[in-house]
Every structure is written in structure tokens, then in C-alpha cells.
């Protein structure tokens, strides 16, 4: 089976995260829309540009140059100090959102992640998932990302570096010649700046030039790094997404409706679809939820939430849905809604912290176990034949 790999890259992370933090603290200025840079302490002579706004870029300001030099290019330039704690905070917010899609996440840097989605598609198209992630990051976290889609890490990383910002690009092996080979060698993943002049001196200027060279020639000239360059230029990369098993603290899904509606029957159908996704993720992660939360947004953009502690921890779709339906009915009060969402929290790791007693033979327990078996069977069918292969009657 071909792997399904995503590379998530935050657009202008340091400047974007600083801007969002300032706006959340009451700033009236979005520094993304003015000539601004993130830099060191000018007074302490550590003034180097770490990140720049697009407007600052138009003045010719580049990352790595001194702020003194940048000010020569743009006298009204605004300089803001960076904050590692702030960056890690927003990086964690992104990571927790991505955990709703897969637990196979490699944090490549503070603003980049690889995701292995191979076993987590639930019959959905990988591009649909990528678009959902991109849109949710922009809407919920207030910054943007580029997403690369491919069957291995190198090609996914290369794809995410194509046109920016807020874009999704594919780079499959059958697209390499058209999309990657014409690029300058300096664009090749993991190729250092010092290597570029050496390659140029050998008449190698594009990624295609590397790819078409004899492998033995590249090894002779550059050693093991030559082999790596040649493999990457030909789209060869068998490395795994290296991840630490880290379970989500909560799981949620929301949907903006095609049109505003107060029809409870229609809202419940959407709620059931969202609940299926949430419960499926719970079961994939071997988690039980102990609370359920409903989020609604009215046509006037008023937001309301309601939460309830479940009578028993569960990952059963029906049990979560029944409680969610009650909360939705209480919350919506016949108002026209434009968005609804469901979330579960206070999660329990069933493989470590929870065991169902074999002596629990109450009627409720028997029904619970029955629905668990049904959900497991449905998951197996969907994993094999796609999410649309079977559905609950309530959605029809």
C-alpha cells in the first residue's frame, strides 16, 4: 500500500505567532500588515532579522541581515523581540489539532510536522483531509500553513515549499519530472549552501541534473551525501515518520453548514456525522471519553457551548451521540445556526488506565458491550471499503 504523508509548514511562523499573540492581548495593529520584523535586541547589538512581514520583504529585507541594514532599506521598520515560550505555545496548539487526525506525527521543527495518514483516512481522500486541516488552522488558530502531500517525507516536504502562503501542493513520483526537476539545486531538501557552488562547478544546476547523474559518480564526488542527494532528486525516501506516542487531550470536529438552519432534524444528522468522526478517533487511539461538549454558532456569529459529564466513560458512537443530541436541543433554542461542533474530553487511555469488569453484567453494560462490537465491525468495514461504504440509518 502506498503511504499517505503530509508535511505541514507554518507560513512565516515567528512573525505570525507574534502578531496573533499581540492581537489577543489587545493590540490594534496586525504586524503582518505593516513593515515589521522579528529580531534580536538592537541595543545589545544582537539585532538580526529572524522573520519579516511580506511588506518588509518588498523593501528588500532578508532574513539573517542586521536590523541596522534593514532600517537603511525601510526607515519606518518596526522591530519586535521573539519569544521561544510563545512559539512553543502556538506549536503545541497546532500539534494538538493535528492529533485529531493521526497520532503518527513527527515534529520536524517548532513550525513543521510530518503526518503519516496511511491508516487514518477512514476512506476519505487525502486531499480532502489536507484542505480540512488547512482551513481549520486558519479559522481556529488564526495563522496559515502550507501542506505538501505525497507518498514519502522528502516529496511531501518539497511540495510544501512550492507557492506560498496557505496552499496545498502534491508531489507524487509521477509528478517529479514536471514539478521538481526544473528547480535549482539549492531547492533540494537537506542540501547545504556550501554544496551548491561545488555542484555548479561540476555543471550541475538543477535537480534534474543531479537525478540524471550516475549514482557512482555522485558517491565518488560527495560520499554518502552524494547518494542521499541522488536518491532525493529521484524521489527515493523510505524513512518512516518518527513519532512519540502522545495521546490527544481532547478530540473535536465542527462543520459550517451550507445554509443557516433551525431545523433540529437536519442539525441532528450533521451532529451524527461529526460524532462518528470523533468516536472513530477515540477508538483508533484506544481512548474513552468522560465528557461531551456541544458548540454552536448562530447566523449572527454568537457562540454557545454546553458540556456534560457522561454517566460512563465510552467510545461508543451511539452513547456519545445520544448525550450530544440532548445538549444540542438545550443549546440551540430554535435559533438559526451556521455552525455546530462536538468535542469529547477528559480522555482515559483504555490500554493503561481502564478495564471493564468481567463481572459487570448489568443490562446497561451488556448494551454498551453490544454497541462496542457494532462500532468495531463498522470501523473494519470503513477501513477496508471506505467511509461511505456503510452508514447509520440516522444519516439517511
In SS3 terms, 126-154 reads as: HHHHHHHHHHHHHHHHCCCEEEEEECCHH
Average pLDDT of span 64-77: 90
Cis amide linkage into residue 137, ω under 30° from 0: no
Per-residue pLDDT at 359: 41
Average pLDDT of span 3-29: 94
Question: Is 302 a catalytic site residue?
Answer: no
Per-residue pLDDT at 384: 63
Percent of residues, the chain, with pLDDT higher than 90: 66
Grid coordinates belonging to 64: 539573517
Per-residue confidence at 355, pLDDT binned at 50, 70, 90? very low
Grid coordinates belonging to 80: 519586535
pTM for the model stands at 0.71
Q: Which residue has the higher pLDDT, 79 or 363?
A: 79
CA distance 72 to 54: 17
Going by C-alpha positions, the residue among 103, 49, 95 that lies closest to residue 72 is 49
The answer to whether residue 370 scores a pLDDT higher than 90 is no
Grid coordinates belonging to 354: 481502564
Helix (H) or strand (E) holding 16: helix 13-24
Report domain extents, the chain.
15-84, 180-233, 250-395
CA distance 187 to 70: 25
| Fold (topology level) of 180-233 | DNA polymerase; domain 1 (1.10.150)
Q: Which residue has the higher pLDDT, 243 or 116?
A: 116
Q: Which residue has the higher pLDDT, 361 or 265?
A: 265
Per-residue confidence at 385, pLDDT binned at 50, 70, 90? low
Per-residue pLDDT at 393: 57
Of 65, 100, 112, 372, the active-site residue reads 112
Helix ranges restricted to H, 285-345: 317-332
> What does pLDDT average to over the chain?
88
Per-residue pLDDT at 277: 87
Average pLDDT of span 222-236: 96
How many other CB atoms are found less than 10 A from the CB of residue 320?
21
| Fold (topology level) of 250-395 | Dna Ligase; domain 1 (3.30.1490)
The answer to whether residue 247 scores a pLDDT higher than 90 is no
Class of domain 15-84: alpha beta
Q: Which residue has the higher pLDDT, 48 or 228?
A: 228
The answer to whether residue 357 scores a pLDDT higher than 60 is no
Q: What DSSP character marks residue 28?
A: S
Average pLDDT of span 80-106: 90
Lookup result for grid cell 488552522: 137
How many other CB atoms are found less than 10 A from the CB of residue 33?
11
Phi-psi region of 390 (alpha: psi -120 to 50; beta: other; left: phi over 0): beta
Per-residue pLDDT at 375: 75
Q: Is 288 exposed, middle or buried (0-12, 13-18, 19+ CB in 10 A)?
A: buried
**Radius of gyration for the chain, computed over Cα atoms and rounded to the nearest angstrom:** 25
Q: Of 39-43, 181-185, 273-277, which one has max mean pLDDT? A: 181-185
**Matching fold, domains 15-84 and 180-233:** no
Helix (H) or strand (E) holding 74: none
Per-residue confidence at 361, pLDDT binned at 50, 70, 90? very low
Per-residue pLDDT at 193: 85
Per-residue confidence at 289, pLDDT binned at 50, 70, 90? very high
- Strand 145-150 and strand 168-170: the pairing is parallel
Per-residue pLDDT at 360: 45
Amino acid at each position: 500500500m502506498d503511504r499517505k504523508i503530509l508535511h505541514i509548514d507554518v507560513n512565516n511562523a515567528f512573525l505570525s505567532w507574534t502578531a496573533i499573540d499581540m492581537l489577543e492581548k489587545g493590540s490594534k495593529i496586525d504586524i503582518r500588515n505593516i513593515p515589521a520584523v522579528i529580531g534580536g535586541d538592537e541595543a545589545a547589538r544582537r539585532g538580526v532579522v529572524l522573520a519579516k512581514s511580506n511588506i518588509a520583504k518588498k523593501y528588500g529585507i532578508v532574513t539573517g541581515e542586521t536590523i541596522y541594514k534593514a532600517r537603511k532599506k525601510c526607515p519606518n521598520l518596526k522591530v519586535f523581540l521573539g519569544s521561544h515560550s510563545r512559539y512553543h505555545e502556538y506549536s503545541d496548539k497546532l500539534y494538538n489539532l493535528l492529533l485529531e487526525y493521526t497520532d503518527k506525527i513527527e515534529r520536524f521543527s517548532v513550525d513543521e510536522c510530518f503526518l503519516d495518514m496511511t491508516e487514518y483516512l477512514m476512506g476519505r481522500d487525502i486531499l480532502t483531509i489536507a484542505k480540512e486541516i488547512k482551513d481549520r488552522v486558519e479559522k481556529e488558530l488564526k495563522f496559515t500553513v502550507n501542506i505538501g502531500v505525497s507518498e514519502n517525507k522528502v516529496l511531501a516536504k518539497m511540495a510544501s515549499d512550492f507557492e506560498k502562503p496557505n496552499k496545498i501542493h502534491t508531489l507524487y513520483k509521477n509528478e517529479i519530472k514536471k514539478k521538481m526537476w526544473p528547480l535549482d539545486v539549492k531547492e533540494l531538501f537537506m542540501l547545504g549552501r556550501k554544496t551548491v557552488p561545488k555542484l555548479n562547478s561540476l555543471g550541475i544546476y538543477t535537480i534534474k541534473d543531479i537525478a540524471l547523474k550516475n549514482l557512482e559518480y555522485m558517491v565518488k564526488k560527495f560520499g554518502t551525501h552524494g547518494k542521499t542527494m541522488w536518491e532525493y532528486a529521484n524521489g527515493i525516501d523510505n524513512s518512516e515518520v518518527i513519532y512519540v506516542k502522545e495521546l490527544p487531550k481532547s478530540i473535536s470536529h465542527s462543520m459550517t453548514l451550507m445554509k443557516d438552519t433551525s431545523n433540529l432534524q437536519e442539525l441532528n444528522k450533521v451532529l451524527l456525522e461529526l460524532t462518528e468522526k470523533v468516536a472513530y478517533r477515540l477508538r483508533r487511539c484506544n481512548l474513552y471519553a468522560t465528557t461531551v461538549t456541544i458548540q454552536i454558532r448562530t447566523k449572527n456569529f454568537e457562540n454557545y457551548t454546553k458540556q456534560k459529564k457522561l454517566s460512563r466513560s465510552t467510545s461508543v458512537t451511539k452513547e456519545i451521540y445520544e448525550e450530544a443530541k440532548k445538549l444540542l436541543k438545550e443549546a440551540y433554542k430554535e435559533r438559526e445556526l451556521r455552525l455546530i461542533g462536538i468535542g469529547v474530553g477528559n480522555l482515559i487511555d483504555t490500554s493503561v488506565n481502564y478495564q471493564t469488569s468481567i463481572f459487570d453484567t448489568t443490562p446497561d453494560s451488556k448494551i454498551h458491550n453490544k454497541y462496542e462490537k457494532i462500532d468495531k465491525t463498522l470501523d473494519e468495514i470503513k477501513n477496508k471499503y471506505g467511509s461511505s461504504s456503510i452508514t447509520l440509518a440516522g444519516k439517511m
